[in-house]
């Protein structure tokens, strides 16, 4: 338990509570939950600690917070110091070291990924699939949307290569793309084993939230290689939990394809192939190419990844709702839609719609 014992002079400090911190008052303790951990603060009224934390919005000094709340400076200062030391708040006025060591940054990412993965996979979609309570349509819908999600690597990773101006990092993205560009075939194979023709799967329209996931990654790619690498690394870290991933797939097989081993087998092969490629180390490889990482840029990349988690949660909700509706099925694309192909046709630019 962290205890507030002494007044601390922090008049120049501009505290900002972390956006993902949650606080509850329990007895004589103010209990904060952050990054999957619990931090208890005591030593003064827990309600006052909660009020000071809420006032630490990154716009006011300690003195201004004390004036606003009618509290004494040294009490507010002591609470803020405890919050900062516990990693619950940061001092926006601190500019003594504006850069992060790359290893320091990757360790922060890895710590956050753990709690973010727990949060994402606590979504009802994953529990419904794990328990077999999801309908057959929801299971099939999950496979179809994941197919689009994985096929979308050609939209997102290709763009990250095109937008990457850092010649030290671009080859890493190119290699990643070379290894990933065709992995949607694993999901086509799974859906074929379920009885869905490959051409039908390819003609389905993804849910808007699947497009939102891809658009988020494209936005990261446009902002920069670090921004893309962090959100991509979260995906890879989620896929890299081989033991839990294989256990999950085994449960899914028992519920939805007990007599069709070729439905789940391609998904198992995909997990193993990505593991063999070592894609979960891409973030470290990218950051090793960066001598120092400005704090603002690191914060921007982490903020984007936090938004990515929320987007993935909405994606999970969309799958449960859309494919859970009565008579829901694959979203077949417009009949007139055809791929644009290059050829000798009658178009003056050499391309025709077939
Ligand atoms: Fe893959």
> Within the chain, what is the greatest distance between any pair of CA atoms?
83
CA of 269 to the centre of ligand 1 (A): 10
pLDDT at 10: 61
How many domains are there within the chain? 2
70 and 116 part of one domain: no
- Looking up tokens 């600690």, which residue turns up? 49
For ligand 1, the distance from its centroid to the CA atom of residue 166, given in whole angstroms, is 24
Question: What are the tens digits of pLDDT across the range 232-247?
Answer: 999 988 876 767 888 9
Q: How far is the CA of 304 from the centre of ligand 1 (A)?
A: 22
Measured in Å, residue 293 CA sits from the centre of ligand 1 at: 28
Is residue 87 domain-shared with residue 135, that is, in the same domain?
Answer: no
Question: Residue 182 Cα, ligand 1 centroid: separation in angstroms?
Answer: 8
Structural domain for 258, as ranges:
99-342
The pLDDT, as a whole number, for residue 133 is 97
CA of 143 to the centre of ligand 1 (A): 14
Q: Is residue 16 located within the same domain as residue 117? A: no
77 and 193 inside one domain: no
**pLDDT at 262 (0 to 100):** 93
| DSSP 3-state of 19 | coil
CA of 297 to the centre of ligand 1 (A): 28
- Judge whether 348 lies within some domain: no
* 144-189 per-position pLDDT tens digit: 999 999 999 999 999 999 999 999 999 999 999 999 999 999 999 9
Can you give the CATH number for the domain in which 70 is found? 3.90.930.60
Cα of 200 vs centre of ligand 1, distance in Å, is 22
Q: Is residue 346 predicted with pLDDT exceeding 80? A: no
CA of 274 to the centre of ligand 1 (A): 5
CA of 345 to the centre of ligand 1 (A): 36
Helix spans in 122-224 (H): 124-131, 136-151, 153-163, 170-180, 185-193, 198-203, 208-223
CATH number at residue 138: 1.20.910.10
118 occurs within a structural domain: yes
- Residue 154 shares a structural domain with residue 76: no
Kindly give the distance from the C-alpha atom of residue 124 to the centroid of ligand 1, in angstroms, as a whole number.
Answer: 24
For ligand 1, the distance from its centroid to the CA atom of residue 300, given in whole angstroms, is 26
For the chain, give the mean pLDDT.
Answer: 87
Residue 350 lies in a domain: no
Task: Report residue 88 as tokens.
Answer: 């619950």
Work out the average pLDDT over 58-87.
89
Tokens for 282, please give them: 């891409």
Ligand 1 midpoint to CA 178 (Å) = 11
One domain for residues 154 and 229: yes
**CB contact at 8 A, 23 and 83:** no
Task: Assess whether 261 and 309 both reside in one domain.
Answer: yes
**For 57-113, what is the HEC assignment?**
ECCCCHHHHHHHHCCCHHHHHHHHHHHHHCCCEEECCCCCCCEECHHHHHHHHHHHH
In which band, very low, low, confident or very high, does the pLDDT at 95 lie, cut at 50, 70 and 90?
low
Q: Is residue 353 part of a domain?
A: no
CA of 4 from ligand 1 middle (Å) equals: 49
């Amino acid at each position: 338990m962290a205890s507030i014992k002494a007044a601390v002079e922090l008049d120049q400090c501009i505290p900002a509570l972390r956006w993902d911190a949650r606080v509850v008052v329990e007895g004589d303790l103010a209990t904060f939950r952050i990054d999957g951990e619990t931090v208890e603060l005591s030593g003064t009224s827990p309600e006052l600690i909660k009020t000071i934390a809420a006032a630490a919005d990154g716009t006011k000094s300690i003195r201004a917070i004390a004036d606003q709340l009618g509290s004494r400076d040294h009490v507010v200062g002591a609470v803020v110091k405890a919050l900062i030391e516990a990693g619950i708040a940061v001092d926006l006025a601190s500019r003594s070291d504006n850069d992060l060591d790359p290893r320091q940054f990757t360790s922060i990412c890895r710590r956050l990924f753990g709690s973010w993965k727990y949060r994402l996979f606590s979504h009802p979609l994953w529990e419904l699939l794990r328990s077999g309570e999801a309908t057959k349509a929801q299971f099939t819908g999950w496979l179809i949307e994941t197919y689009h999600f994985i096929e979308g690597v050609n939209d997102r990773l290709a763009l990250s290569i095109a937008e990457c101006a850092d010649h030290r990092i671009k080859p890493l993205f190119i290699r990643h793309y070379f290894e990933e560009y065709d992995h949607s075939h694993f999901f086509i194979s799974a859906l074929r084993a379920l009885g869905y023709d490959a051409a039908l799967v390819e003609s389905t329209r993804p849910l808007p939230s699947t497009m939102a996931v891809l658009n988020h990654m494209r936005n990261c790619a446009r902002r920069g290689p670090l921004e893309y690498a962090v959100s991509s690394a979260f995906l890879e870290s989620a896929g890299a939990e081989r033991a839990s991933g294989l256990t999950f797939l085994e449960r899914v097989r028992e519920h939805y394809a007990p007599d069709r081993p070729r439905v789940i087998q391609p998904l198992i092969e995909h997990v193993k192939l990505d593991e063999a490629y070592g894609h979960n180390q891409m973030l470290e490889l990218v950051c090793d190419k960066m001598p120092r990482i400005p704090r603002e840029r690191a914060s921007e990349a982490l903020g984007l990844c936090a938004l990515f988690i929320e987007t993935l949660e909405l994606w999970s909700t969309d799958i449960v709702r859309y494919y859970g509706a009565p008579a829901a099925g694959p979203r077949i694309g417009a009949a007139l839609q055809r791929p644009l192909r290059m050829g000798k046709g009658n178009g003056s630019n050499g391309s025709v719609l077939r």
